[in-house]
Amino acid sequence: MTLDPAWVVSLTLLASFVLLFSDKLRYDIVALLVVITLVLTGALEANEAFAGFSSEAVIVVGCMCVFGHAMSRWGVAEGLCQRLFKNPNTSEAGMVARLSFVAAIFAAFMTDTAVVGVLIPIAHALSRQRKISISRLLLPISFGCFLGDLLLVVGSAKNIALNGAVAGLGGRPFSMFEFTHFGACVLVLGVAYLAGPGRKLLPRSAVPESLSEQYQIPKFVTEVVVEEGSDLIGRMTSELRWARDYNVPLLGVVRGEAEKTELVPSPYTRLEKGDLLIVQGEPENVLRLQRDLRLQLGQRANVGDTMLRSDDVQLVEAVVPASSHLIGRTLAESDFRARTGLHVLAISKHGKVVVQKIGRTALDVGDTLLIQGHRPDVERARREREILVLGEHEQLRIGPKAWVTVGLLLAVLLLAGFGVMTLGIAALAGAVGLVLTGCVPAREVYEAVDWVVLILIGGMLALGKAFDKHELGAALANWVTSIDALASHPHLVVVGLCLLAVILAQAATSVGTAVLLAPVALSLAAQLHVSERAFLMAVLCGTNCAFLSPVANAANAMVVGPGGYRFRDFLRAGLPLTILIVVMAGVLIPIFWPL
């Protein structure tokens, strides 16, 4: 019995959305399963299924990842942002407006997660300086990125993916600046909302007095005394196996009447009589350690910030960004302590503090870490950006190749924007230019590319091709046009497509939504005998409204931990903004792209 290809494609589409929404498998694995299913069932020929991976969309997204890496490497975005917020003598509304606007401008050239990674430490510093809750600042940054995605075609992977889908179906892709005027209108509306009525809907969490208070450290850090006759006298700290045997790591050694403190002690430090050892652990574990080794508790029952930092040792927060190699791994698996020299005292996952079994806790995007370490180690971690270190640090000096990077980026935009080259050729030439000029070493190019997104685009383009080949888009268009109200009022179709894209983008990926709705938009335009530009723009606008869920976009996930947000916070602040943008789309899109 042969399977009906239309049913195969429909079931594959449904299964892929379920898997993407459930987050049971990585996005790239789901995309590859889609390709394999379509080929094995005969819904697509092998060359049709693999065509998406060699499309211009994949090339452009990969090249823009390299540009984003170059801008981060030479401090273009972070250096400029630090200077823009050097003197934050503005009201809370002014800071929200500036943060969201700056996020939008940089999101037109960089990935959303890269922009959020740059602005989270800056927002954290502003929060501490002005005594404003960090939850009032981070959500506008994430939302601002989505507002900026509509300024240029290269503003996001979903824009480029939709262009690739349209080109693959024989349509005319958007040019570089074709929807910049509409995106500017959305940006103005969004910033005005966030700084005005939307600000009243942002959560207002309490500003903690100290990091130790925020992470409940006084409950789990205490002192024990090395008394005369103890077996510990003369032993080096490297010989202690307390973290393994008792789940009680050693944080510091306080010695002598002057209470000279050695935090993050050297493995060669030898213990002496009278040393106070700062340890971390559950009370029952500390008591078991005390009983087995015949130690005495120190006079101070608990320890705060002042005993965990010194002139050389810092106590800082850090966020796990979307690009980190730590995601999905534990600190023990990644050998974090040995590689970085930093000690993680606590982890905050979606507002819940974890202080025990830290080494065996898998990390996710947006988790915040309380870290203790020597200043050089902290600064090295800040530069390497595997974690985003928060707190005060020196103003970055923009690197010598920064302006070469900016110049090459502008050349790509202008050459593609004015039709001198296709976007794919211009982007590829620009990325090669970055390597030839030394802006990005060749060995870092492959690390800079977000391969998950590239494979996702390739797989979704294959699904979009199958959707069109077996006329599922046309069937859906026939059903829509059979409704008299919609057939006679194409303006309602614009709003309907925008709403459908909004809903699907929250449930799955915005890239997949854009690719799959492109053939529907083209079929609807053909059935109604109107220009397809308005319908395609409605799809693009809807996919950029990732305001309603923390899992709708990695940029949202990055601010959940440091902002202490809940799902309801996104829904409460994002729903009115989504409604405003959909209404604006219904009014302006038919004006800018007449039906």
Q: Which residue has the tokens 């030898």?
A: 270
Tell me: do 194 and 216 sit in the same domain: no
Q: Which residue has the tokens 């595997």?
A: 386
Query: What is the token pair recorded at 304?
Result: 């705060």
**Cα–Cα separations (whole angstroms), residue 109 to 5, 383, 439, 475:** 40, 21, 17, 37
Residues 263/313, Cβ–Cβ less than 8 Å: yes
Side by side, which strands form the sheet with 296-297?
260-263, 250-255, 276-280, 221-225, 296-297
Tell me: do 228 and 279 sit in the same domain: yes
Residues 308/217, Cβ–Cβ less than 8 Å: yes
Alpha-carbon distance of 321 to 382, in angstroms, equals: 12
Q: In tens digits, what is the pLDDT along the chain, a chain of 595 residues?
A: 456 788 888 888 888 888 877 777 888 898 899 999 999 998 899 998 898 898 888 999 999 989 988 888 887 877 777 777 766 567 888 889 989 999 999 999 888 888 888 888 888 878 877 778 888 999 999 999 999 999 999 888 889 989 988 888 888 899 999 999 999 999 999 999 999 999 989 887 765 556 666 666 666 677 778 777 777 788 887 777 777 777 777 777 877 655 666 776 777 788 888 787 877 777 777 778 777 777 776 655 445 555 566 667 778 888 888 878 888 888 878 888 878 888 887 888 876 777 667 777 888 888 888 888 888 888 888 877 888 888 655 555 677 888 899 999 999 999 998 889 999 999 999 999 999 999 999 988 988 888 888 898 888 888 888 888 887 877 877 777 777 666 678 888 899 999 989 988 886 678 888 888 888 888 888 888 888 999 999 999 999 998 988 877 888 888 888 888 888 899 999 999 999 999 999 999 999 999 8
The separation between the first and the last C-alpha atoms of the chain, rounded to the nearest angstrom, is: 45
Tell me: do 54 and 86 sit in the same domain: yes
366-391 burial, b at 16+ Cβ within 10 Å, e below that, comes to bbbbbbbbbeebbeebbeebbbbbbb
46-55 burial, b at 16+ Cβ within 10 Å, e below that, comes to eebbebbbeb
Tell me: do 119 and 95 sit in the same domain: yes
Half-sphere exposure of 10 (CA within 13 A, CB side): 11
Alpha-carbon distance of 214 to 279, in angstroms, equals: 18
Residues 28/34, Cβ–Cβ less than 8 Å: no
Which SS3 state, helix, strand or coil, does residue 147 take?
helix
| Residue 365 domain-assigned (yes or no) | no
**Cα–Cα separations (whole angstroms), residue 468 to 351, 473, 520, 588:** 44, 6, 8, 28
Tell me: do 126 and 237 sit in the same domain: no
Residue 150's nearest CA partner among 583, 541, 587 is: 541
Tell me: do 183 and 254 sit in the same domain: no
| Residue 483 domain-assigned (yes or no) | yes
Side by side, which strands form the sheet with 388-389?
352-354, 343-349, 368-374, 313-319, 388-389
The model's pTM is 0.82
Q: Which residue has the tokens 């006084």?
A: 218
Look at residues 275, 303, 331 and tell me which one is the last residue of a structural domain. 303
- Write the CB contacts of 378 (distance below 8 Å, at least 6 apart in sequence): 314, 316, 342, 371, 389
- Residue ranges making up the domain that contains 58: 5-206+404-592
Task: State the pLDDT at residue 207.
Answer: 58
Look at residues 303, 331, 356 and tell me which one is the last residue of a structural domain. 303
Which SS3 state, helix, strand or coil, does residue 579 take?
helix
Which SS3 state, helix, strand or coil, does residue 278 take?
strand
Tell me: do 171 and 294 sit in the same domain: no
Residue 588's nearest CA partner among 487, 485, 498 is: 498
| Residue 367 domain-assigned (yes or no) | no
| Residue 266 domain-assigned (yes or no) | yes
Alpha-carbon distance of 576 to 500, in angstroms, equals: 17
Tell me: do 111 and 215 sit in the same domain: no
- What is the tally of structural domains in the chain? 2
249-273 burial, b at 16+ Cβ within 10 Å, e below that, comes to bbbbbbbeeeeebbbbbeeebebee
| Residue 317 domain-assigned (yes or no) | no
Tell me: do 483 and 559 sit in the same domain: yes
Residue 304 CB neighbour total at 10 angstroms: 17
| Residue 67 domain-assigned (yes or no) | yes
Query: What is the token pair recorded at 105?
Result: 């401008």
| Residue 374 domain-assigned (yes or no) | no
CATH of the domain at 247: 3.30.70.1450
Residue 341's nearest CA partner among 389, 306, 387, 376 is: 376
Kindly give the pairing relationship between strand 352-354 and strand 368-374.
unpaired
Residues 436/404, Cβ–Cβ less than 8 Å: no
Tell me: do 162 and 249 sit in the same domain: no
Residue 94 CB neighbour total at 10 angstroms: 12
Query: What is the token pair recorded at 130?
Result: 């002005």
Which SS3 state, helix, strand or coil, does residue 279 take?
strand
Tell me: do 106 and 247 sit in the same domain: no
Task: State the pLDDT at residue 301.
Answer: 47
Residues 419/55, Cβ–Cβ less than 8 Å: no
Look at residues 285, 303, 321 and tell me which one is the last residue of a structural domain. 303
Query: What is the token pair recorded at 458?
Result: 């390739």
How far, rounded to the nearest angstrom, does the alpha carbon of residue 434 sit from its chain's CA centroid? 24
Alpha-carbon distance of 193 to 191, in angstroms, equals: 5
Tell me: do 277 and 135 sit in the same domain: no
Task: State the pLDDT at residue 491.
Answer: 86
| Residue 330 domain-assigned (yes or no) | no
